[in-house]
A and B are shown apart, each in its own frame.
Chain A
Amino acid sequence: MSQLNMVQAINLALREEMERDPDVILMGEDVGRDGGVFRVSEGLLDLFGEERVIDTPLAESGIVGAAIGMAVYGLKPVAEIQFMGFIYPAFDQIFSHAARIRSRSRGRFTCPMVIRAPYGAGIKAPELHEESSEAIFCHMPGIKVVVPSGPKNAKGLLLAAIRDPDPVIFLEPTRLYRMIKEEVPEGEYLTELGRARVAREGKGVTVIAWGSMLQRALAAAEGYDAEVIDLQTLSPFDEETVFASVRKTGRVVIVHEAPHTGGFGAELAASIAETEMLSLRGPIMRVTGPDATVPLARLVDHYLPSAERIREALDEILEY
């Protein structure tokens, strides 16, 4: 066990899984010789060779499409899309094919693959390098959506994602890549998909967050009797943990950096209202980015939910 940041933890997960399972292939733009633009795959080309660590042409649809072909053939590709903002050309491949090959072939062919993409705002990068469009993927049956919030669960969730028999979108919050270090266990350390984690216990209010917003939610919760849930897997989300917490607290604040309208918070809010309406003491609150294109660096701090905005929501809901 050693102290690793998220880049190192993901690198460790990839290396261990590629050592353990010769069917695991890493592919994407600049993932080989360059070790990935964030150095997530550093050293893997030397360890596993260019048949298993593939520097692809610059072609997002082609990368995902080829990964689908590999997966149905029987391998377990891990395809990297360099930034989430470049995943849009691959929508057709993800939605029309990866998500439904099992169904289309009535189980004859499956698509066990992971699409990794750095995502989220706040790294002073150009346009389309700071997107958080996770909710779009949550709408599509047949794919799972996973977002780690730190080095430790990044490793556990990635191992579980690679071993999952179906396609998984694995979104890595770039702002966290080097922000925090944690003890990351070596070897078989898996975090079950579809399970949330109670990051902080409390009785007065439930705060639900994921990815880069978890740190802010935890910071905001200081001094409050707040329970903070790290969702970890968005689709399918852990109804059991969320509902149990809501039953306990009766108050909910959902935090995400993506725009408000149609964000994943909407699905959470609707699900909570459907099932736990009678446990609620007040309205379900959402602290999110505005319904706007994510701005560049000069304005991004105004866009991202701050700990202060989260605290305002906590103060408001605690009035009920």
Chain B
Amino acid sequence: MPRDTIATFNVERLAILDEYGKADEALLPPLGDAEIRRLHEFLVLSRAFDRRALSLQREGRIGTYPSILGQEAAQVGSAFVLSGDEWIFPSFRETGMFIALGYPLHLLFQYWAGDERGQRGPDNLNIFPVCVSVGAHVPHAVGAAMGARVRGDKRPVVCYFGDGATSKGDFHEGFNLAGAYRLPVVFICQNNQWAISVPVNRQTAALTLAQKALAYGFPGVQVDGNDVFAVYCAVKEALARAASGDGPTFVECFTYRMSDHTTADDAARYRPTDEVELWRGRDPILRLERFMAGRGMLDEAYSREVSARALNAVDEAVRQAESSPPPQPAEILENVSAALTPRQKRQLEELSK
């Protein structure tokens, strides 16, 4: 009996825009100047939000907050493809995705300030609340796709998570189910290379995370996650596959968490500063700005204008979040179940005193 190779697999990597702002013209997505400007605005707004959130946390005005610094392109570039009609299942580090889909900024501030009303999104968006337990929402996304299929609803489902989630059992169970049922789910992983203090090479011996999809019978692709065009193209292809009935796709956005895990963490304890410096040069916004400048779409005045707009929006959102009436103690019980038990009603009376 011979030894035969019965299967071989390829893992592609897609990169379009390099850190100097130079693009592979043949691979550039067909985005007009106006769309590129919108992408840029979302990136700048996401960073402005993030910076403000960090300073609000230091001032004690919001609670623990996970920064998205460095991951804006992966979040905005992917969300920019979406129509807002999809079902979306986010992890906890997705502020850029929320912003690009038009989730009200003040609700995001409200949530991170410990007011759960911020998790009740607008009814026109099917964005699931932030999933704090890592990777547990992967099966939720798969189940939503199963539900959509029963109803004959062709809308794809999008699921966001990080590199740490790929070590979890629910990642496996969800991916396995999605592959077995050929469900229209786009899995987007931001491999920011650090799950708090554990580097990705301690999460897995696999060379890429993208290749994990192959074992479940569907394609995985790695993209330069700091390249907003590459992210955009890969997610667009994945959505098209989902829409045409070709099943799930896994998009690994190779990026870097420039900040601490959260405001409660100190990354200097466990990772080398030269690594952070290396990635500073690969900044996702800087490279898009270089690209735009090269095309005559961006100069200093325009840059200032975009920044000012972003700061205004952030200021206004903070004002709105902080001036909203405080949540009432009764809310602790109000949404536990559709109806309160007699015991809960007594507890509600106690809380409302």
Which residues of A line the B interface, CB within 8 A?
A: 23, 25, 51-52, 54, 56-57, 59, 61-62, 64-75, 77, 89, 92-93, 96-97, 101-110, 141-142, 144, 164-166, 194, 236, 239-240
Contacts and interface: CB of A to CB of B under 8 A. Distances in A.
A75 B338 CA distance: 16
B176 A194 contact: no
Given A62-B173, A96-B133, A69 B337 contact: no
B117 A68 contact: no
A59 B336 contact: no
Contact of A66 (B121, B139, B338, B343): B139
A66 B150 contact: no
B143 A194 contact: no
A69 B144 contact: yes
Contact of B170 (A54, A57, A65): A65
B337 A68 contact: no
Given A74-B151, A102-B337, 9 more contacts: A65-B142, A65-B143, A66-B146, A69-B146, A70-B143, A73-B87, A93-B136, A96-B133, A106-B117
Nearest to A104: B129
A110 B338 CA distance: 9
Given A25-B150, A66-B177, A165-B338, A97 B140 contact: yes
B335 interface: yes
Given A59-B177, A65-B174, A101 B144 contact: no
A75 B145 CA distance: 11
Given A92-B133, A96-B133, A106-B119, A66 B142 contact: yes
A154 B249 CA distance: 42
Q: A56, A104, A142 — which one has the most chain B CB atoms within 10 A of its CB?
A: A104
A75 B149 CA distance: 11
Contacts of A77: 143, 147
A77 B140 CA distance: 13
B196 interface: no
Interface string B105-146: 000000000001101110100001101010011111111111
Given A69-B140, A96-B136, A108-B120, A103 B336 contact: yes
Contact of A107 (B128, B176, B335): B335
Contacts of B324: none
Contact of B337 (A61, A109, A142): A142
Contact of A236 (B116, B143, B341): B341
Contacts of B145: 69
Contacts of A51: 149-150
Contact of B139 (A68, A73, A107, A240): A68
B148 A73 contact: yes
A104 B343 CA distance: 21
A66 B176 CA distance: 12
Contacts of B140: 65-66, 68-69, 72, 97
Interface residues of B, number: 46
A69 B143 contact: yes
B176 A70 contact: no
A93 B169 CA distance: 12
Contacts of A66: 139-140, 142-143, 146, 174, 177
A249 B337 CA distance: 33
Given A62-B139, A68-B139, A69-B143, A103 B150 contact: no
Contacts of B2: none
A161 to B, nearest CB: 13
Given A102-B337, A141-B336, A70 B147 contact: yes
B279 to A, nearest CB: 32
Contacts of B336: 102-103, 141-142
B293 interface: no
B101 to A, nearest CB: 15
Nearest to B140: A69
Nearest to A108: B120
B180 interface: yes
Interface string B313-339: 000000000000000000100111110
Nearest to A105: B129
B106 to A, nearest CB: 15
Contacts of A52: 150
A107 B334 CA distance: 9
Contacts of B89: 69
What are the 5 closest A-B residue pairs judged by CB atoms, nearest first?
A: A69-B143, A65-B139, A62-B173, A66-B143, A73-B147
B341 A54 contact: no
B342 interface: yes
A75 B151 contact: yes
Nearest to B121: A108
A77 B139 CA distance: 14
A5 B277 CA distance: 70
A61 B173 contact: yes
B173 A70 contact: no
Q: B87, B169, B335 — which one has the most chain A CB atoms within 10 A of its CB?
A: B335
A62 B147 CA distance: 14
Q: B137, B141, B173, B338 — which one has the most chain A CB atoms within 10 A of its CB?
A: B173
Contacts of B133: 92, 96-97
Contact of A69 (B123, B142, B341, B343): B142
Given A51-B149, A92-B136, A61 B120 contact: no
A70 B144 contact: yes
A65 B138 CA distance: 8
Nearest to B341: A236
25 contacts: A51-B149, A51-B150, A59-B172, A61-B173, A62-B170, A62-B177, A65-B170, A66-B139, A66-B142, A69-B147, A70-B147, A74-B147, A74-B151, A75-B151, A92-B133, A93-B139, A103-B336, A104-B119, A108-B119, A141-B337, A144-B337, A164-B338, A166-B338, A236-B341, A239-B342
Given A59-B176, A66-B142, A106 B147 contact: no
